């Protein structure tokens, strides 16, 4: 059994990008620049945004953060997006979600120039991904694909079960893995809250992507010997034994399942760090004009 | 066993639209208007376009056809699209595919204002469909959804197998049927040319969508008793017993499979007529501003 080390892989990706950025600076070319809009003071959002800024610093990207209070009007946010769309020195734009209720996430996402939409949430990027055109792939599915690629996991003709149908994880990864591509060419089943017997499907799967958001949902008897198990779950649960008082738990019962499978991603340290690396990959692609 | 009558259902839809259009005319409101661009003289395309024009006439829509020879430049086609985009009396625009090789289908599709893209091929419409926003759904998947709806076929929690992953049939119908909607909420498996054993999947399916393009591929031993079988295949094969010298054959061996299933679409007269009705539905929605 091989534990897929997302932390190490993400670090490798960051090192690769860092090396390339050094060259770009030597050639006096434009430094990749990510702009982030953050509304309010949600604890999770604060943490994510500070990570994103730190990641940019680490690889030598420029980043700029625009902060607004919870009561900012939708128009102010939309104006800032327009300004960033028009700024040719900005390559990637993200608006940290969730937003306060009076601001439409849909409107905000669609306001971002799709050519700078490095989160891959704009309908154009989703549509282009579906029909196999170059696009920005959302961070989590891209992180998973990158792990599969770098660990040389065979996908061709494999039976893959995706648990969860969310717009940012389950749906896109199911599409990517079933496309005529490498990695890809899986026979993919998407199951979800209305699926009567998930176990009857996962037990036959060569590859399982668990993105259902239920801590330790996937037990050993859900998994066949030698399966590849990718755990996207990240639920915080109380834990008196940690300094912070909580710990992150995945959708997979790691202790049980890891004894049966061929590859498994741990939580934390599996898919999580890869989503951060994916944002850097997309921003770099945007700066180099590789997608549009 | 119930034979799903696509011809009759399409006629019902046309009658419904016709009745509404009469009212629109009485109120002196704008008549729905579909513009069609046809390049060259491909036999299939000529037939499809003439059907589309006939359908418009039948329900009282306005239609306009712009014909170009095979050697027309891409720019001429793109200019015409721009003109139609800007014409507020035109509600829907379609460009009949395939196009000659020197004209980029991708460019042409993306040039159409997505708000008038009644074929549902523009990446924005595909992306919006994926994330569950209002959009134009491509004709074939919309026709299938409409049959399922009108025949009150239960989909919630059902095991659905889609054979084929094309951008205009397999992929979109797999997404629509697995979404949290009614019809929808199926557990959907997409299989394709790289799936090693399609039969092992279809034999357990409550609903089978065959869109693989192989005449009579689906035999009785692929299907469990009581399954719903939707046949999207339309292959022309030689037949000396018909006037035309050929006949249409589906992906399903109708004689064999119909004895086992609960519902089945015939070929011809099943999904085919519904795709024509779907274009009318989309054009009508465009005229009424129901999507954008």
As a whole number of angstroms, the distance between CA A17 and CA A27 comes to 15
B119 a catalytic residue: yes
Domains of chain A: 33-113 (3.40.50.10860), 139-272 (3.40.50.720)
As a whole number of angstroms, the distance between CA B73 and CA B245 comes to 36
A52 a catalytic residue: yes
State whether B190 and A195 contact (CB < 8 Å).
no
* pLDDT tops 90 at residue A215: yes
Say whether B265 sits in a helix, a strand or coil.
Answer: coil
Any residues with CB less than 8 A from the CB of B186 and at least 6 apart, and which?
A: B155, B156, B157, B158, B159, B160, B177, B178, B207
Residues of A within an 8 Å Cβ radius of B: 106, 122-128, 130-133, 156-157, 165, 167, 171, 174-175, 178-180, 185, 187-192, 194-196, 201
The catalytically annotated residue of A55, A117, A119, A251 is A119
CB atoms within 10 A of CB B75: 9
State whether B130 and A131 contact (CB < 8 Å).
no
Q: What is the pLDDT of residue B200?
A: 97
Cis peptide before A183 (omega within 30 of 0): yes
As a whole number of angstroms, the distance between CA B60 and CA B26 comes to 12
What's the average model confidence in pLDDT over A224-233? 98
Q: What is the pLDDT of residues A249-258, one digit of tens each?
A: 999 999 999 9
A56, A26 contact by CB (below 8 A)? no
Which chain B residues contact residue A190 at CB under 8 A? 174, 178, 187-188
Q: Which of B105, B108, B122, B123 to mutate to test the interface with A (most CBs of A within 10 A)?
A: B123
Q: What is the dihedral of CA B178, B180, B184, B189, to 10 degrees?
A: 10
**Pick from A245, A265, A262, A243: nearest CA to A254:** A265
Q: What is the pLDDT of residue A29?
A: 85
Token pair recorded at residue A11:
């670090």
- How far away is chain B from the Cα of A55, in angstroms, using its nearest Cα? 29
Q: What is the pLDDT of residue A14?
A: 98
Which chain A residues contact residue B156 at CB under 8 A? 194
* Sign of the dihedral through C-alpha A120, A125, A127, A131: negative
Tell me the DSSP string of B200-250: HHHTT-SEEEE-S--TT-B-GGGS-TT-EEEE---EEEE-TTSSSSEEEE-
Give me the residue from A127, A178, A194 closest to B123, CB to CB.
A127
State whether A123 and B127 contact (CB < 8 Å).
yes
What's the average model confidence in pLDDT over A252-265? 98
Beta strands in B125-182, from DSSP E residues, in sequence order: 159-163
A96 a catalytic residue: yes
Tell the residue number behind the tokens 């992953």, with chain if given: B165
What size, in residues, is chain A? 292
Any idea what the Cα angle at residue A235 is, between residues A148 and A137, rounded to 5°? 40
Which residue positions in chain B have pLDDT lower than 70? none
Residue of B nearest to A122 (CA): B127
Kind plus residue range of the DSSP H or E element containing A93:
strand A92-95
Q: What is the pLDDT of residue A28?
A: 83
Give the single-character DSSP code of B114: G
State whether B131 and A126 contact (CB < 8 Å).
yes
Q: What is the dihedral of CA A285, A164, A254, A268, to 10 degrees?
A: 40
- How far away is chain A from the Cα of B7, in angstroms, using its nearest Cα? 30
State whether B179 and A190 contact (CB < 8 Å).
no
Q: Which of A168, A178, A211 to mutate to test the interface with B (most CBs of B within 10 A)?
A: A178
| pTM of the full structure | 0.96
Residue of B nearest to A192 (CA): B187
Say whether A166 sits in a helix, a strand or coil.
Answer: coil
As a whole number of angstroms, the distance between CA B147 and CA B141 comes to 10
**Pick from B292, B287, B244: nearest CA to B268:** B244
What's the average model confidence in pLDDT over A88-112? 97
The catalytically annotated residue of A55, A80, A96, A253 is A96
Long-range contacts of A244-249 (CB under 8 A, 24+ apart): A248/A272, A249/A215, A249/A216
As a whole number of angstroms, the distance between CA A271 and CA A252 comes to 13
Q: What is the pLDDT of residue B28?
A: 83
**Pick from A269, A274, A226: nearest CA to A249:** A269
Judged on CB neighbours under 10 Å (0-12, 13-18, 19+), B66 is: middle
Q: From residue B179, give the alpha-carbon distance in Å to each of B6, B17, B130, B132, B183.
A: 24, 27, 9, 8, 9
State whether B187 and A188 contact (CB < 8 Å).
no
**Pick from B159, B125, B82: nearest CA to B286:** B125
State whether B171 and A175 contact (CB < 8 Å).
yes
Residues of B within an 8 Å Cβ radius of A: 106, 122-128, 130-133, 156-157, 165, 167, 171, 174-175, 178-180, 185, 187-192, 194-196, 201
Q: What is the dihedral of CA B54, B59, B60, B61, to 10 degrees?
A: -70
Q: What is the pLDDT of residue B115?
A: 98
Q: Residue A82's pLDDT band (boundaries 50, 70, 90)?
A: very high
Token pair recorded at residue B95:
């460009």
The catalytically annotated residue of B5, B14, B80, B96 is B96
Which chain A residues contact residue B169 at CB under 8 A? none
Token pair recorded at residue A193:
């809250």
State whether A130 and B132 contact (CB < 8 Å).
no
Token pair recorded at residue B265:
């679409």
As a whole number of angstroms, the distance between CA B140 and CA B275 comes to 5
**Pick from B20, B171, B211, B54: nearest CA to A171:** B171
Kind plus residue range of the DSSP H or E element containing A142:
helix A139-150
């Amino acid at each position: 059994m091989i534990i897929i080390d997302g932390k190490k892989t993400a670090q490798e990706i960051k090192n690769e990008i860092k090396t390339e950025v050094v060259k770009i600076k030597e050639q006096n070319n434009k430094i990749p620049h990510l702009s982030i809009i953050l509304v309010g003071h949600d604890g999770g959002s604060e943490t994510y945004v500070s990570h994103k800024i730190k990641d940019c610093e680490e690889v030598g990207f420029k980043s700029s953060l625009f902060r607004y209070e919870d009561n900012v009007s939708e128009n102010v946010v939309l104006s800032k997006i327009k300004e960033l769309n028009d700024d040719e020195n900005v390559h990637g734009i993200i608006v940290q979600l969730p937003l306060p209720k009076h601001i439409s996430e849909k409107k905000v996402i669609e306001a971002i120039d799709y050519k700078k939409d490095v989160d891959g949430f704009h309908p154009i990027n989703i549509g282009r991904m579906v029909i196999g055109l170059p696009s920005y792939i959302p961070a989590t599915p891209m992180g998973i694909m990158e792990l599969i690629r770098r660990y040389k996991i065979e996908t061709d003709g494999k039976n893959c079960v995706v648990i969860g149908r969310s717009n940012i994880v389950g749906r896109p990864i199911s599409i990517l893995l079933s496309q005529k591509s490498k990695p890809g060419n899986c026979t993919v089943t998407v199951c979800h809250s209305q699926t009567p017997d998930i176990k009857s499907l996962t037990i036959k799967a060569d590859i399982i992507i668990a993105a259902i958001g239920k801590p330790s949902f996937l037990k050993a008897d859900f998994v066949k010997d030698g399966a590849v198990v990718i755990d996207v779950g990240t639920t915080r649960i109380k834990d008196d034994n940690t300094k912070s008082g909580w710990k992150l738990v995945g959708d997979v019962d790691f202790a049980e399942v890891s004894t049966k499978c061929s590859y498994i991603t741990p939580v934390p340290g599996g898919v999580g760090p890869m989503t951060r690396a994916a944002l850097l990959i997309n921003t770099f692609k945007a700066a180099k004009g590789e997608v549009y």
